[in-house]
Amino acid sequence: MSHSFVSLVSHIIFSTKNRRPMLRAEIRDELHAYTGGVLRSEKCCLLKAGGISDHIHILAQLNASLPVATCVQKIKTNTSRWLKRRFPTHSKFAWQEGYAAFSVSPSQIPKVKAYIENQQEHHRKRSFTEELRDLLRAHKVEFDERDLPG
């Protein structure tokens, strides 16, 4: 085959450092839009972003030549820098070190988008740790409970 054909859709999740509730509602829309710009600059495409005050969910079509870890690092670095400049009250803002990323089948994209859209309601019933544990199990990712946020 003379060309490469790739479809890489990922659901990426990461938290603010120490799960501090720094992503107020009035910040989130701008943050999500900025995240889309970071992804576009890497030849990726934001399909949906959402979350609550202490974490973000990103559904994105990734560039085949960009490793997921590099993509997440670019998102974190650029959004952290932007948040500190855009919101002076966030001068000490930081993201947590790790992240979770799950591959998404094209047939499941609408379901994942709906899941991301309903984060406010979802977290009235379940904590971030419970959500992450359930996602890790659903995607058959091995983990140690000690590595999950408290």
pLDDT tens for 104-147 read: 999 999 999 999 999 988 888 888 889 999 999 999 999 898 88
What is the pTM assigned to this prediction? 0.94
Q: Which residue shows structure tokens 């984060």?
A: 119
- Element at 11 (helix H, strand E): strand 9-15
Q: What is the Cα–Cα distance from 35 to 81, expressed in whole angstroms?
A: 12
Domains of the chain: 9-139 (3.30.70.1290)
pLDDT tens for 5-47 read: 889 999 999 999 999 999 999 899 999 999 999 999 999 999 9
Q: List CB contacts of 51: < 8 A, sequence separation 6 or more.
A: 23, 28, 57, 116, 119
